Amino acid sequence: MKKILSFLTAAVLSLVMSGCYIPDVYEPEIPEDPQFAVHYIDVGQADAALVECDGETMLIDGGNSDDSRKIAAYLKKLGVSRLDYVVCTHAHEDHVGGLSGALSVADADCILAPLTEADSKAYKNFKRKAQAQGIEPRCPSAGETFFMGNGRVDVLGPLSEDTDNVNNTSIVLKVTYGKTSFLFTGDAEREEEESILQSGADLRSTVLKVGHHGSYTSSSYPFLREVMPQISVISVGKDNTYGHPSENVLSRLSDVGSEIYRTDLNGDVVITSDGENVYAKTQK
């Protein structure tokens, strides 16, 4: 709360007390001792990533409900008892399920979720945990910008939630730290990718969290040509029944010159940045 209060006037104090006021009042500079890391946590055929930025944290998705204990243990191992931001990219269980575990061991300042919800036990548990902390999840708008530590977070999507495909309601975020950037795409498929392309958003990113576990329905050539990732990370389960990642997607990523890491082969993938370069470390 202190980090937010320092940027507030009394007129907006009530918004802070609701648990999710996002200030947009300064441009960050990289400190002399930069501390930035993204943990792409191996949650099998699911998604979870923890961003650490100069003492602040953001959890993007939490895997399946069965991953709750793993997410909780991962946070405890890193000594994370407070999450500045928690993001549910969309309402499918393999993204929202384990967030309940995170909210059981860490207090959250702000919780973001798309408008499109799900009448599922996993999503209801997530909302119950959020409300128990006095926070009502809010939906960010495309074009919104907020800051964590000395990093900048831009909301690129969704631009519309008028769709029957929940994957295309995914919150898409770009985190910029110095000259490096990290793109998180949830399960966005070609239609949402196309919408973001047409919006004129700056997609160029150093690291890409590959959409929809490497499904052929995501990571189109036009999208990848705009992103041009140096590194791509695919969160995917070993021997899954969906055929993820698609050979077509692997070929597209290779064609744009991206180095590929996969949680089914590499386990947890941790990528750090000093504001100039990125460095990857894998569990196996």
Q: Cis before residue 245, ω within 30 degrees of 0?
A: yes
Residue 9 pLDDT class (50, 70, 90 cuts): very low
pLDDT tens-digit profile of 162-173? Answer: 788 999 999 999
From CA 15, how far away is CA 11, in angstroms rounded? 9
For residue 267 the two structure tokens come to 């386990």
Handedness of CA 54, 96, 170, 158 (dihedral sign): negative
For the chain, give the mean pLDDT: 91
- pLDDT average, residue stretch 173-196: 97
SS3 label, residue 222: helix
pLDDT tens-digit profile of 188-216? Answer: 999 999 999 999 999 999 999 999 999 99
**pLDDT of res. 110:** 97
All domains of the chain in start order, with CATH: 31-282 (3.60.15.10)
**pLDDT of res. 8:** 37
pTM above 0.85, yes or no: yes
- pLDDT average, residue stretch 245-269: 98
Cα 232 from chain centroid (whole Å): 14
Total residue count of the chain as it appears in this document: 284
